[in-house]
Amino acid sequence: MIRKMYDWVDERLNVTPMWRDIADHEVPEHVNPAHHFSAFVYCFGGLTFFITVIQILSGMFLTMYYVPDIINAYESVKYLQNEVAFGVIVRGMHHWGASLVIVMMFLHTLRVFFQGAYKRPRELNWVVGMLIFFVMLGLGFTGYLLPWDNKAYFATKVGIQIAEQVPFIGGFIKTLLQGGPIVGAETLARFFAIHVFFLPGALFALLGAHFIMIRRQGISGPL
Amino acid sequence: MSERNNKGVSRRQFLNYCLTGVGGFLAAGMLAPMVKFAIDPALQKAGAAGGKVPVASLSEITEEPKSISFKKKIVDVWTGEQETPLTAWIYKQGDQVIALSPICKHLGCTVNWNGDEKHKEQFFCPCHLGRYEKNGKNVPGTPPMKPLDQYEVEVKDGKILLGEVKANKIAEGA
């Protein structure tokens, strides 16, 4: 049945070449762990992406209950974690995944660095990778405030004070991040917007560029 | 090789099935908690009935339905108890006190007693011209399909107390 449905669509829209383009490509022997076990280091990029997908999905579901408001934020997190079915698991995925994505990204970066895979002609992809790294750190920083508990509040205070140390424009950056003179209602609303709209948007664009480039240029050769 | 292929499943197909199965299992393991998390409110039983609240004294009420506004505390998840404004059309019928919900059974607008000049002694909904008899019975040929809901009523020390909203019981007899 599925075969027939696929054929029906394919006959009209010729979709086979589209997904073949994405899915069908040769994996060189030197990146296949079945040939050389040490090739498992090539998995870290894919694992980073896999966890990113989990983050996006679990984050989407969390916003069904979460409210970015100083009176209700903590209570809504408490409610979704303790009262809603599987709340502790869905929030747990987002919580632990956030740390894991940084770890995986770091390992991926180490592999690229020590293999010299960033060298010509792949310099641009290294730069895009670094931008992704900073976007991920931004997601971690903004997401940390959202539960609006003591840890979140003081971590953000310290984070903003670090940003304030920038010469000349520090004060401006601080106000821009806080949205006002204190870490308060405006900060929470703005961190939420940055966390769920602005940074994910930037992340999608950068990931797209990252993947298109790796497909254009192929995986770097063996050491 | 051709002998093996005749048996039905080729090696490539077998591997494809295995990969699809494992991939599907992983995806399901990831998505199942999230989907349950999302649909949880739809699986909950209706909340426990709240207590009755005093809304008016018996002496205020006559045979003519009167609109009485009152407030009731309703628990709204993490925001806690919320004072919620409610209204009832209350009148006496012999010794009995009747309190009808003003919410139209068509699409939930608010009905008025004697709201339509052409149809006196009836509840009238201005949204789609739905009408109800005094006992809440929906007038056939107008949009509502059910009679107006009824509040649980208790009279104590000359005070009228209202409880939960229930399906109308007096309209059937009339």
- Domain ranges for chain B: 1-43, 53-172
ipTM of this complex > 0.95? no
Hey, are the CB atoms on B77 and A83 less than 8 Å from each other? yes
Q: What angle do CA A146, A150, A152 make, to 5 degrees?
A: 35
Residue B76 is predicted with a pLDDT of 86
State pTM to two decimals: 0.84
Of the partner residues B34, B36, B78, the one whose CB lies closest to the CB of residue A57: B34
Torsions phi, psi of A184, nearest 5?
Answer: -155, -145
B26-44 residue pLDDT tens: 999 999 999 999 999 999 8
- Per the CB < 8 A criterion, the answer to whether A68 and A147 are in contact is no
Topology of domain A1-6+30-217, per CATH?
A: Cytochrome Bc1 Complex; Chain C (1.20.810)
Nearest Cα of chain B lies from the Cα of A206 at a distance, in angstroms, of 25
CATH 2.102.10.10 fits B53-172, yes or no: yes
Q: Please, which pLDDT band fits residue B48 given cuts at 50, 70 and 90? A: low
A115 phi, psi to nearest 5 deg: -90, -5
CB A180 within 8 A of CB A187: yes
Q: State yes or no: pLDDT of A49 exceeds 90.
A: yes
Q: Do the Cβ atoms of B79 and A72 come within 8 Å?
A: yes
DSSP class per residue in A66-110: ---STTTHHHHHHHHHHTSTTHHHHHHHHHHHHHHHHHHHHHHHH
Give the pLDDT confidence of B85-135 residue by residue, as tens digits.
999 999 998 888 999 999 999 999 999 999 888 888 999 999 999 999 999
Classify each residue of A8-25 as buried b or exposed e, where b means 16 or more C-beta atoms within 10 Å of its C-beta: eeeeeeeeeeeeeeeeee
User: Tokens at residue B120, please?
Assistant: 């006196």
Out of B30, B31, B78, the one facing A76 most closely (by C-beta) is: B78
